[in-house]
Structure 1
Amino acid sequence: MSDPSAIAELPETEAAIFRLNRLDLTDFRNYGRLSWSPAARIAVISGPNGSGKTNLLEAISLLGPGRGLRQARVADFARLRADDATSWAVAARVRAPDAVEPLIIGTGSAPDGGERRIIRLDGATVSQTELASHIAISWITPQMDRLFGEGPGGRRRFLDRLVWALDPAHARDVAAHDAAMTRRNRLLAEGRADPAWLAGLEDGMARHAVASTAGRRALVNQLNATLARGAVAPFPAARLALLCPIADRLAEAPALAVEDWLRAALAASRTADAASGSASLGAHRTDLGLSDLQSGRPAALASTGQQKALLLGVVLGHALVIAEARGFAPWLLLDEPLVHLDDTHRAALLEALGRLPAQAFLTGTDAAPFAALQGHAEFCLCMAGGLVENPGFARPQAKESL
C-alpha cells in the first residue's frame, strides 16, 4: 500500500464531478438557518456528538429520492421551536457535468403538513422518479454496521438504493409489486378468493417482480465486474450475490418465461399463502449476500470491522459503476466511516477517496484521523447547529476547489 500521508493525484475525470455548490437549510433538525458552499471535492465535518453532523448528511440525502439516510418521518425533520410548527426546507444549487446552468433542487414539508414532502426541480414540482433521473446519492451510516446480523429487509433496501442510482425507474417497479402483493394478501386473508381478481394481481406481481429483479441482477453483475478488476484498490474488494429464486431463473431463461413461471407458482400457492398471511414468492423475498473477494469469507461470519470494510468497498465500487453508466458519480455520505476500521483500512479508504471522481462528505467526532486528506479536503467544525472552518487544518489546494 502506498503512503497514506500522500493522497494520490485526482483523476482526469475531476471536471465531470457532480457538484453540490451550495446547501441551504431552514428549520431542519437542529439547524435554524444554514447556508454552506463546499469549498472542495471532499468535506470532513467534525464535532462533538449531538452537534448536527449526521443531520447535515441527512439533509443532503433528502436532495435525492427516498426517505433519507435515517428513513425518518417527514414530521421528524422539523426543528423543535416554540410555535410547534413543523415546516422545514432543504435547498441546493447543483452543477451537473456539462450543464450550462446549475440545477436548483428543493424539498420540504407540504403546506398542509402530514407525511408528504414536496420535491421541486428548478421551481417545478417533480416525482421522486424524475428526481432520480438527475441525481444519485449513496451513504454509509453506523447503523448499517449491523446489516448482516439482522433480517434481509435492511440488506434489500441497501441493494435497492444502489439499483435506483443506476435505474431511476427501479423504485416504481418495487412499489408496484408490493402494492399488488398487499392487495393479494388482503383478499386471501378475507377469503374473497375471486380467481380472476387474484390472477390480475398475480400478473402484476410477476411482471414487476421480474423487472425489479432484473434491475438488481444487472447492478450486482456490473458491480462484481468492477470490484473484480481491482477498481477500488488499495481498498479490499467484495463480491455480491443475489439470493433469489427469480434471479436464479433469469440466469437461465428469458424474462417472459420467468414471468409465466412466477404467475403459475403464485396461483398454486394461494392456499398456503392465505394460511401464512404472506406471499411465499416475489421480489420481497430477495436477500443480498456479501463476501470478501479474496478470501471468500461471508460477511455474516466476519467481524464488525471486516463487515464495514466490505460495505465501504461496495459503495466505492458502486460510485465507479454509476460514473461509467451515467457520466457522473453519486455523492458519498460517509457518517463516521473510520469507526471499527483498523489503521490499514483507514489509510486505504482515504487513498481510495482521493482517487475517486465523486464529491464526498465525511463525518467524525475528531478530524485528526482524516489528516491525510489535508490539502485535498475542506475541514469544517460543526457546533450547535453551525458550520465553520476548522483552523487546525490546511485549506484545500486550488485544483481541489469546486
Structure 2
Amino acid sequence: MTGLALSELALSHFRSHKRAVLELDARPMAIYGPNGAGKTNIIEAISLLSPGRGLRRAGADDLARRPESLGWKITAILQSLHQVHELETWAEAGSPRQLRIDGKSAPQTALGRIARVLWLVPSMDRLWIEGAEGRRRFLDRATLSFEPTHADAVLTYEKAMRERNRLLKDMVRDPHWYAAIEAQMVEAATQITANRNRAIDELAAAQAAAVTAFPTATLTLTYADPLPDDLQSALEAHRNRDMAAGRTLLGPHRADLDAVFADKDINARDCSTGEQKALLISLILANARALAQDFGAPPILLLDEVAAHLDATRRAALYDEICALGAQAFMTGTGPELFTELGSRAQYAEVTETHGLSSVERKDIK
C-alpha cells in the first residue's frame, strides 16, 4: 500500500459493535446492509482518526456500546505516504478520549499531520438551507484538511471570546480587562480568516482544473457584519453594543459560506435537492483533488449513504472519479446493487445486526 490508506481497523465496544476487525487494501470499500445494522458506526470510527469529535460530533461517553458501557476503543494501522503508523484512540467510562500514535500519547491535532479524512453524511444534505453554523463547520473541516493548525487557532479564538463574553455579561466596563483578551482574539482571527480564504482558493482551483460530472460551486466567505481591517479597534468600539447583547457580535465566529451553482448562477439554497447534493459532492471531490496535490496523497473519504441519492449515471461518475483519484473511500448503502458500477475496483463488507449486536463480514463480489 502507498499513499494514504488504512490496512487494518478494529473496533471494541464501539456503538453497536462489540468486536469488529477489518483487513483492508487501498481500494475503495463498499459497506452494505440493512438500515440500522451499524454501517455508519464503522465510518464514524474512522472519522475519529482525525482531529475533532467525528462525523456525528458525539461525546466520548455516547460512543460506548450499550448496555455494557465499559468504554470503547478503536485501533488502526495507517499507511501515510512513506510511513506506517499504529493508531489507538479510546475512552474509558466517564473519561475523556485519549490517543496514542505509535505507542506514544499524542494530542488529537497530531492526527492532522499524518492523515486527512473527509466525509459526507446525510445530515449535511440540508447544509445550504439551514443555519450558518453548519456551513462554517463544513468550511472549517475543509480548512483543517489543508492546515492542521487551524483547529488550534479556532480553539484559541473561542476560548478568548468566551472570556470576553463573560466580562460583557457581568457588565464590566474597565478597558484594561478587555485589552489582552481582544488582542488574543484578533491574532487568532487573522489566522482563521487567512486559513479559510486559502481553503476557498484551493477548492476553487481544484474545481476549475477538473472535468467532472458534478457542478461547480462558486464560494464566498461572508459575515453577518463585515469584518473590518482593524478588528482590534472595532472590538473596542463595539463593547457597549456587545454588552447590550451579552455576547460578541463581530468576528470570524459570525462568518458564513455562500455557494452559487456556477453554470446556472443560482444560489445553492435555491437549487433543487438533487443539485444541492451534487454541489456537496463536487466540493468533497475538489477538496480531495486539492489535498492529493497539497499533502501528497488523496484523503480517506467517508461517504455515508451517498449512492442512494444519485441516479445510475452520476453514481458511476462518482465511482470513476474516486478510483481515478486513487482514494480509499468508505461508502455505505443498503445493498450491493448500489455499487455494481465499481465491480472489482472495490472491496466489500456486509454488516448485519442481531439483537442489537452488529457483525461485519468481508464479501467477494465480482
TM-score range (shorter-chain normalised) is: over 0.9
Within-5 A mapping of 1:2-401? 16-81=2-67, 84-99=68-83, 102-110=84-92, 113-114=93-94, 116-230=96-210, 233-244=212-223, 258=229, 261-384=230-353, 385-390=358-363, 393-394=365-366
Alignment CA distance shift 1:128-1:247 (3 Å): farther
Q: How many residue pairs are counted as aligned between the two chains?
A: 362
Residue aligned with 1:192, SS: coil
Instruction: Give the whole-Å Cα distance in 2 for the aligned partners of 1:182 and 1:279.
Output: 9
**How far does the alpha carbon of each residue in 1:36-93 deviate from its partner, in whole angstroms, 9 at most, with x for none?**
1124511000000111100000001111110000001110111113xx4331100001
Point out where structure 2 has 5 or more consecutive residues left out of the alignment.
none
**How far does the alpha carbon of each residue in 1:235-265 deviate from its partner, in whole angstroms, 9 at most, with x for none?**
332222111389976xxxxxxxx3xx10000
Point out where structure 1 has 5 or more consecutive residues left out of the alignment.
1-14, 250-257, 395-402
Instruction: Give the whole-Å Cα distance in 1 for the aligned partners of 2:182 and 2:297.
Output: 38
Shift of 1:181: 0.8
Instruction: Give the whole-Å Cα distance in 2 for the aligned partners of 1:268 and 1:115.
Output: 42
Shift of 1:332: 0.2
Instruction: Give the whole-Å Cα distance in 2 for the aligned partners of 1:51 and 1:269.
Output: 52
Alignment CA distance shift 1:122-1:247 (3 Å): farther
Shift of 1:312: 0.7
| Paired amino acid for 1:311 | L
Instruction: Give the whole-Å Cα distance in 2 for the aligned partners of 1:40 and 1:48.
Output: 25
Instruction: Give the whole-Å Cα distance in 1 for the aligned partners of 2:112 and 2:97.
Output: 15
Instruction: Give the whole-Å Cα distance in 1 for the aligned partners of 2:138 and 2:182.
Output: 26
Instruction: Give the whole-Å Cα distance in 2 for the aligned partners of 1:372 and 1:167.
Output: 34
- Where has structure 1 moved over 4 Å in runs of 4 or more? 245-249
**How far does the alpha carbon of each residue in 1:295-352 deviate from its partner, in whole angstroms, 9 at most, with x for none?**
2221100112111110111011101111111112211000001233233322221221
| Paired amino acid for 1:388 | E
Once the two structures are overlaid, the 10-residue window that deviates more, 89-98 or 291-300, is 291-300
User: Conserved in 2, the CA contact under 8 Å of 1:304 and 1:340?
Assistant: no
**How far does the alpha carbon of each residue in 1:209-250 deviate from its partner, in whole angstroms, 9 at most, with x for none?**
11111000001011101101225x13332222111389976x
| Paired amino acid for 2:79 | R
Alignment CA distance shift 1:16-1:370 (3 Å): same
Instruction: Give the whole-Å Cα distance in 1 for the aligned partners of 2:190 and 2:73.
Output: 37
Alignment CA distance shift 1:185-1:222 (3 Å): same
Instruction: Give the whole-Å Cα distance in 1 for the aligned partners of 2:94 and 2:66.
Output: 16
Residue aligned with 1:150, SS: coil
Alignment CA distance shift 1:115-1:311 (3 Å): farther
Query: Paired residue for 1:10?
Result: none
Alignment CA distance shift 1:53-1:245 (3 Å): same
Instruction: Give the whole-Å Cα distance in 2 for the aligned partners of 1:194 and 1:106.
Output: 48
Q: Percent identity?
A: 39
**How far does the alpha carbon of each residue in 1:181-208 deviate from its partner, in whole angstroms, 9 at most, with x for none?**
1111110110122211211111111111
Shift of 1:282: 0.8
Shift of 1:115: 5.3
| Paired amino acid for 1:242 | L
**How far does the alpha carbon of each residue in 1:279-305 deviate from its partner, in whole angstroms, 9 at most, with x for none?**
111110111111223222211001121
Shift of 1:149: 1.6
Once the two structures are overlaid, the 10-residue window that deviates more, 351-360 or 21-30, is 351-360
Instruction: Give the whole-Å Cα distance in 2 for the aligned partners of 1:383 and 1:128.
Output: 31
Structure-1-length-normalised TM-score: 0.86
| Paired amino acid for 2:297 | F
| Paired amino acid for 2:43 | L
Alignment CA distance shift 1:246-1:106 (3 Å): farther
Instruction: Give the whole-Å Cα distance in 2 for the aligned partners of 1:367 and 1:146.
Output: 26
Structure-2-length-normalised TM-score: 0.95
| Paired amino acid for 2:238 | S
Residue aligned with 1:230, SS: coil
Residue aligned with 2:351, SS: strand
